[in-house]
Amino acid sequence: MRTGWMIAAGLFCAIAATPAIAEAAEPVKVTIDGASRSAPVTKYEYGMFIEPIGGLVARTLWAEMLDDRKFYYPVVAPALDTPPPLNAEGRPGVTYRKWRPVGGDDAVVMDTKTPYVGTQSPRVAVDRSVRRGISQSGIGLAKGKRYDGYVLLSGDPDAQIEVTLVWGPGPSDRQTVALPSPSGDWKRSPFSFTPTADASDARLEITGLGSGSFRIGAVSLMPSDNIRGWRADATTIARSLNSGMWRLPGGNFLSNWDWHGALGPRDLRAPMFDHAWSAMQPNDIGLDEWMDLTRIIGVEPYVTVDAGLGDANSAAEEVEYLNGPSTSVWGARRAANGHPEPYGVKFWNIGNEPYGWWQIGKTSLDYFMIKHNAFAKAMRAVDPTITLIGSGAMPDQLHPRDVQENASLESIAPKFGTEQDWTGGLLAKAWGNFDGVSEHWYDRPEKRPNAPADAELMEYARAPSNQVRMKAEEWKIYERRFPAMKDRKIFLSIDEYAYFGEVNLKSALAYAMVLQEMLRHTDFLTMAAFTTGASTMDITPTGSTLNSTGAVFKFYGEHFGAGAIPVAVLGGSEQPEPRYPVGYAHPKVRAGSPTYPLDVVAALGPDGKTLRIGVVNATFDPQPVNLDLKALAVRGAGRRWVLTGTSLEAANKVGAPAGVTVTASAAPRPGPRLVAPPLSATVFEFPVSVGVR
């Protein structure tokens, strides 16, 4: 039954099961009650979180192709490299492509007395017979694509400087541009290249002949189609996700990043060291660049302020920089940087995971509540209209560093109201100083070696949605303990989450269940941000494509997007307890609809004239559905969209045919039975009349 033929057969038919399908499985009873409705889905349900972890953003969305372009590290031979220190979790630092001397290890010295930016700039002593300078390898190029760059130079006029792009071993596999003679002042010299072949290990060289010396302040190389520094290909894909909002600029990174240092001309921003991830950051992406990204991809920014090493005054200045009029102190700075109109950022988050032992600036709950309240007061004094989101953490997430557990509602009950309940701490000690509460969760796929293939797949796919269900169950407890939450319409924002590991059809089914679980709780779960926005794509130095995870977000964003009205789904087969539990950090709840082995959600369209039914079938067989509609009547034929692939390992990669695809087809007016194809997430849509029983 678990063959490619059976998968194809399931995809062929979705309505009115054939006798063969009827024999394969008993129909799953599904009741959809159009009179039992939840709050409409907000446009922030499918948001994204992004953080410049090392080169994560620099090598995906940002168009800069050179590492360390402002020379945080000295230009030395490999034997003299010093590895960065371990971060707080004991992980080694990020490895970057390094600049290397050309013409001998002694060709370059670092000028620390009068650097262009930061603490040092390379000085090259030239020679009349041997080219001397610097180079960086490991650059990816696409044949026939133009690349534009520049170098900031100063030096002696007798230095004859060239920039060369090398993409192969032959004499014709390179282009060279001669630069104007330098002078004592720093000058920007542009150059452009168009390689005649693809390359994965191209090299940029800046070298000179003659007499005297020259200094290099900063270098840049970008594809010519970049959009104000952002990659055209990746941002086009990001725009197609219709995410609603992106949370930025971090993350753990944020807790040791001073946004003041990333304003104005990018070349004059000193690089900094991010101790959270043990990584250098060139500071090319500041607040204005982040705001520009959100406009390019058509989403609202959701800004988190530094409450690690940062202070309330700095956070208030940040609000003024982004939202203040150009007549204000920081609004005037924004205008001087080329952005006279306020950005009007609505959503603001105070701090990132301040409860975590891994976090820079980690504090006690009581101390952070004092800090949160001070931040909220200062930020709202600048802009009273902002929506403030406090950094919460429910008891299922918090435990001593050396303790691992699979939390249940019973096991966490004693933690409410303690140091291991930061969400409760906000509600008890910061009331009135926030509008919503953020929560983060991460899960990891784990092997179940003793499980049969069908059970292994089902429990793998169901696991991460239990994280969402646990948050929902805990939220009910908070609403009982703090009844005013409903009156104040305090909302939940799950603004970091991910199921780490595979990126293929198997993980796509898991993410589909995660999104369906979120759709069951729209009365209070109004925002979510997946980690990370770049993780929805497969990205190489020269190309990008929507991966299987991104396909799921786009799929649900299109069919259960803003304004969709979830309606109740009932059934007679509850989701069972896992038979093959593994590992830890897996909440002991049972997410999903009572329609095992399927997971089903339903929603009316924003106008109430269509019914959309989402069905995740994480089994190897077609699953017939016995559908019963209450307070709804189907008025005719509809449409069907199926997200699936040829195998669980199917993936979407740059340069290869898509392995996970969405196929649309007509759906005849349903009788009592639909069929969910195997290994799929399917959406049915039918025209309906409401209020009919």
**Domain boundary residue among 564, 588, 618?**
564
The sign of the torsion formed by the CA atoms of 313, 314, 315, 318 equals: positive
Q: Is residue 78 part of a domain?
A: no
CA distances 532 to 12, 278, 572, 605, Å, are 34, 19, 37, 28
Judge if 622 and 587 occupy the same domain: yes
Q: Do residues 87 and 276 lie in contact, with contact meaning Cβ atoms separated by under 8 Å?
A: yes
> Is 663 a domain residue?
yes
Model confidence over 75-123: pLDDT tens digits? 999 999 988 777 766 777 788 899 999 999 999 999 999 999 999 999 9
- Does residue 639 lie within any of the structural domains? yes
Q: Collapsing DSSP states into helix, strand and coil, what is residue 126?
A: coil
Instruction: Return the CATH number at 128.
Output: 2.60.120.260
The CA distance from 167 to 196, in Å, is: 9
In a domain, 84, yes or no: no
Residue 353 structure tokens? 């995971």
Domain count, the chain: 3
Beta bridge partner(s), residue 177:
163
pLDDT tens readout for residues 301-322: 999 999 999 999 999 999 999 9
Helix (H) or strand (E) holding 390: strand 387-391
User: What Rg value do the Cα atoms of the chain yield, rounded?
Assistant: 28
CA–CA gap between residue 664 and residue 2 (Å, rounded):
24
Residues 288 and 377 in one domain: yes
**3-class DSSP state for residue 351?**
coil
Asked which of 175, 201, 223 is the last residue of a domain, the reply is 223
| Residue 214: domain span | 97-223
Q: Which two tokens stand for residue 190?
A: 């542009």
Query: Which regions of 21-156 does DSSP assign to beta strands (E)?
Result: 28-37, 47-49, 100-102, 108-111, 121-125, 132-141, 147-155
Domain containing 251 — which CATH number? 3.20.20.80
Report the 10 Å Cβ neighbour count for 295. 12
Per-10-residue mean pLDDT, the chain, length 693: 32 32 71 97 97 92 98 95 76 86 95 97 96 98 98 97 97 97 96 97 98 97 98 98 95 95 97 93 97 98 97 98 98 98 98 94 96 98 98 93 90 96 98 98 92 96 98 98 96 97 96 98 98 97 98 98 98 94 92 98 97 98 94 94 97 97 92 88 95 63
639: tokens are 């449409």
Of 680, 629, 686, nearest in space to 13 by CA: 680
pLDDT of residue 692: 60
Continuous segment of H or E residues that includes residue 642: strand 638-645
151 and 177 in a single domain? The answer is yes
Q: How far apart are the first and last CA of the chain?
A: 39
Q: Is residue 102 part of a domain?
A: yes
Q: What percentage of the chain has pLDDT greater than the value 90?
A: 89
**Chain mean pLDDT for the chain:** 93
Q: Are residues 488 and 599 in the same domain?
A: no
Statement to judge: residues 424 and 280 lie in one domain: yes
In a domain, 121, yes or no: yes
Statement to judge: residues 303 and 433 lie in one domain: yes
Q: 207 and 292: one domain?
A: no
* Inside any domain, residue 320: yes
Q: Is 8 in the same domain as 119? A: no
Task: Say yes or no: 407 and 361 in one domain.
Answer: yes
Do 384 and 413 sit in the same domain of this protein? Answer: yes
Q: Which pLDDT does position 92 carry in this prediction?
A: 73
* pLDDT attached to residue 84: 75
Q: Are residues 606 and 683 in the same domain?
A: yes
Q: Verify that 544 and 643 share a domain, yes or no.
A: no
- Listed residues 564, 587, 615: the one ending a domain: 564
Closest C-alpha to 687, from 600, 607, 599, 569: 607
d(C-alpha 650, C-alpha 510), whole Å: 14
DSSP 416: T
Query: Within a domain: residue 54?
Result: yes
Pairing of strands 632-634, 680-690: antiparallel
Q: Which tens digits make up the pLDDT trace of 343-384?
A: 999 999 999 999 999 999 999 999 999 999 999 999 999 999
Determine how many CB atoms are found less than 10 A away from the CB of residue 621: 21
> What CATH number is associated with residue 667?
2.60.40.1180
* Per-residue model confidence (pLDDT) at position 22: 36
